Amino acid sequence: MKRWTIRVVLLLTLTYVLGSLLALPPYALRVPSNPVTTSPADVGIPFEDIVIRVDGFELAGWWIPAQRPVATMVFLHGAGANRTSAFFNSLAFYRAMHDLRINVVAFDHRHHGNSSRGPTPRLGMGDPEWRDAAAVMAWLDTNAQAVGPRIIAGVSMGGATAIQALAHGSSADAAVLFDPALDNQDALAQGAVIFTGLPASLFRLYAWSAQRFWGLPKNDGIQQGLELTTPTLIIQDSDDPITRLPFAQALAEANPSIQITEVPKIAQGSACIANKGRWATHAAGFACHPNWAVEQVSEFLNHALGLNLSLSRATLDSNQSF
């Protein structure tokens, strides 16, 4: 009986190790099909379809011009999402930026949404996605309507992508990051908890393997972010189970160019997170507190860029229904 028990334990251990090293990483990093089915027209704002080419990929996107624009924003979505992420309520955010007189360019990263997919569509958590962001930033240089200071904004993986793009030489006058992914191993392990409900400790080996053998960047957002000189606002939910508060706090404490503000508490069972399951409050700051979030963005950009952005309370309230 004892020998049989040892054999079972060894078999389970071997299965765990091989699964963590070889099977789980490519499965977790795959990008599911998630086509875009809505548009800015659904929230009453004008837009143009655009295509930007980089590294053999065609990135599908929108140019959303504002009336009498004072700034231009590039928006980067999260992992597995697209430019209309319901998790973040992106369309309502674009409407809010449009009403602030900020142009917006939003697009689907490679392998995502309506952009082209490669033979092995995997997440890079910012690398190589930063090359997509850099190509879009370069596209702005050819657009005569892309006036004023340039803002790069991102949510979750999009936050990490923004940091990577800036670290690799893209130029922006300010950055706004919602729940950015700053520690790739931790985010990957926490994501496995979301899908399985099992303890995070079980997934540390597979997260390490994803970084060591499967292309997950070794230069995490927090490492790259230490060198940022771009004025940056992190809007962080303190209860986010994926991209967690301590990493954002550590980065803001270490880099004086970065400030952090915490999202007001979001109660369990709130309608704004009702369909998110264990993802809970991840990337929910704007969806749950649109008035507060837009005010934080406006105040930051006014201070960092010398703008005079203001949005009426009536307009903010109307954004909640999008």
Domains in the chain with CATH codes: 1-30+184-217 (no CATH), 34-183+220-319 (3.40.50.1820)
Average pLDDT for residues 99-106, to the nearest whole number? 97
- With a pLDDT cut of 70, the percent of the chain lying above it is 96
Position 1 scores a pLDDT of 55
Confidence band (pLDDT; 50, 70, 90) for 247? very high
135 token code pair = 């190509």
Are the CB atoms for 182 and 240 separated by under 8 Å? no
Query: How many whole angstroms separate alpha carbon 125 and alpha carbon 288?
Result: 25
**Averaged pLDDT score across all residues of the chain:** 91
Q: Residues 167-204: pLDDT tens digits? A: 999 999 999 999 999 999 999 999 999 989 999 999 99
106-120, 149-163, 218-232, range with the lowest pLDDT: 218-232
Distance of CA 311 to the CA centre of its chain: 24
Give SS3 for 255: coil
Q: What is the widest separation between alpha-carbon atoms in the chain?
A: 79
Task: List the 71-76 sheet strands across, edge first.
Answer: 48-54, 57-64, 102-107, 71-76, 150-155, 174-178, 232-236, 258-262
Rounded to an integer, what distance in angstroms lies between the CA atom of residue 170 and that of residue 313? 34
At 109, the amino acid letter reads: H
Helix, strand and coil percent figures for the chain, each rounded to 5: 45, 15, 40
CA distances from 71 to 27, 63, 88, 131 (A): 40, 13, 22, 22
What is the predicted pLDDT for the residue at 167?
Answer: 95
Task: Round to whole Å and give the CA distance between 178 and 190.
Answer: 17
Bond into 217 cis (ω within 30) = no
Residue listed under structure tokens 């033979």: 119
Take residue 181 and report the two structure tokens written for it. 């992914």
CB atoms within 10 A of CB 180: 33
Please state whether beta strands 57-64 and 102-107 pair in parallel, antiparallel, or not at all (unpaired).
Answer: antiparallel
- pLDDT > 90? residue 69: yes
Element (H, E) at 293: helix 290-305
For the ranges 79-83, 97-101, 180-184, 215-219, the lowest mean pLDDT is seen at 215-219
Residue 20 has pLDDT above 60, yes or no: yes
pLDDT of residue 4: 77
pLDDT at position 13: 78
Q: What is the DSSP letter of 260?
A: E
Q: How many residues does the chain have?
A: 322
- The CA distance from 26 to 242, in Å, is 19
pLDDT given at position 45: 96
pLDDT for res 312: 66
Model pLDDT, residue 3: 75
Q: Assign 313 a pLDDT band (cuts: 50, 70, 90).
A: low
pLDDT of residue 148: 94
pLDDT for the residue 315 = 57
Mean pLDDT of 279-307: 95
Query: How far is Cα 195 from Cα 190, in angstroms, rounded to an integer?
Result: 9
The answer, yes or no, to whether residue 322 has pLDDT greater than 50, is no
pLDDT of 316 strictly over 90: no
- Which has more confidence, 48 or 12? 48
Name beta bridge partners: 155: 178
pTM, two decimal places: 0.93
**Is the pLDDT reported for residue 2 higher than 80?**
no
